Amino acid sequence: TQSTRPQRLLGAVKKNATRGDPRSVVKAIDQFCRQKEWAMNVGDEKGCILDSVVSELNPATVLELGTYCGYSTVRIASMLPPHAKLITLEFNPDYAAVARQVIAWAGLEDKVQLVEGASGDLIPKMSEQFEVETFDLVFLDHWKDRYLPDTKLMEECGLLKKGSVLLADNVICPGTPEYLEYVRASPRYESQYFRSHLEYTKVEDGLEKSVFLG
């Protein structure tokens, strides 16, 4: 049987990264994606912006929407303080299976809870099933038409508090126009664009950082 791209990406991690060393896992994935096969990870260039937001915020609770192979999960989790928790949601079981192995290879399984399922079903269950009242940081990187409805759902479920940060990837490419319009026009958010490039390309893309004002 033929392997899938995520399985080949996992193979590159096992071949080239050191167990327990998150930076080497990130590096092995970026190398694979630049030299062998493009993949939809946030990537090295936007990844540095993600890192700076995480380190500035030093969040205790993080929600990631869209795990894929666990690349951004590893980047975020490796920077979290000791008792912090990252919940990441992925509805494709094949991707989730690869991500579990990537996260374990990085030695970060104790910091990360990977939950298989659709964001629209899981967001309302966060406080009851996952014992999280609010998130300090949410990284939105799942299907682009879900950014806005899931943001409204997080608001309704009380998962955002004053100072919570939404960091949204791919707001230009593929683009999330309704979401951008919403966070930029709403008096409940202070929003800022970080210009960059689509992962592993020279095409313009960027991250939108939106602070929830309550």
| DSSP, res 72 | H
Shortest gap between Cβ of 183 and ligand SAM (angstroms)?
A: 18
The one catalytic residue among 30, 90, 136, 141: 141
Which of 34-42, 79-87, 179-187, 190-198 is the region at the interface with ligand SAM (rule: CB under 6 A)? 34-42
The H or E element spanning position 15 is helix 5-16
146 binds, among Mg ion, ligand SAM, none (CB under 5 to 8 A by kind): ligand SAM
- The answer to the question of residue 95 lying near ligand SAM (CB under 6 A) is yes
- The answer to the question of residue 64 lying near Mg ion (CB under 5 A) is no
Site residues for ligand SAM, window 99-138 (CB under 6 A)?
118-119
Pairwise CA distance, residues 206 & 172, whole Å: 6
**CB of 27 within 8 A of CB of 105?**
no
Pairwise CA distance, residues 126 & 115, whole Å: 11
Annotation says 169 is catalytic: yes
The one catalytic residue among 144, 150, 205, 208: 144
β-strands 189-197, 204-212: how paired?
Answer: antiparallel
Angle at 58 between CA 132 and CA 29, to 5 degrees: 95
Annotation says 144 is catalytic: yes
Which of 52-60, 65-73, 159-167, 175-183 is the region at the interface with ligand SAM (rule: CB under 6 A)? 65-73
What are the residue numbers of the active site? 141, 144, 169-170, 199
